[in-house]
Amino acid sequence: MSDMGYKIGVITEYKKNHKGVNLSEYDTVVFLENRRENLLLGKSGYIKNNQVKSNQLLIHISGNVDFSDAFAIKIPEAPRKFGYMSFTCDYVDSMAVIDLHTASLCVAQGMISANNMGLKGEIYKQYMVDNYPALAFEDKKFW
């Protein structure tokens, strides 16, 4: 459950017998994959077309999907191919792009400050989270 009251499930490993998320429990499935070209949805995909319900909303932002035989509500109808995004921040509005870039520069400023102070590991992460618009990856190898 998220802080906003929505039930959220995340799949990051595409194994045949993955039991972490039951798609029928969700109204919306968002595809966000930009590193691996695995087919996420389709006849031979990780998620088969017959696993989605006709009233589910499928939103493609990025990743390899084949919406052609999925009987669901699809946004967009023709998603971009792997390596390209169907939706970016500028789809929301131009201010979202400015906010994103500004936050990125602010986080970079914080990283420079933390590096200059010689911070490492958990202290580095906590300094960034407490003082800048930064979110830390769960995997400690990134901080």
Collect all residues with Cβ–Cβ distance below 8 Å to 18 and sequence separation of at least 6.
11, 46
Q: Is the peptide bond before 76 cis (omega within 30 degrees of 0)?
A: yes
Q: Are 114 and 124 in contact (CB under 8 A)?
A: yes
The pLDDT assigned to 12 comes to 77
117 pLDDT exceeds 90? yes
The pLDDT tens digits for 18-68 are 555 677 788 888 999 988 898 998 888 888 888 888 888 899 999 999 988
Q: Bridge-partner residues for 24, per DSSP?
A: none
- Model-level pTM? 0.62
The pLDDT assigned to 2 comes to 53
CA angle 117, 123, 128 (to 5 degrees): 75
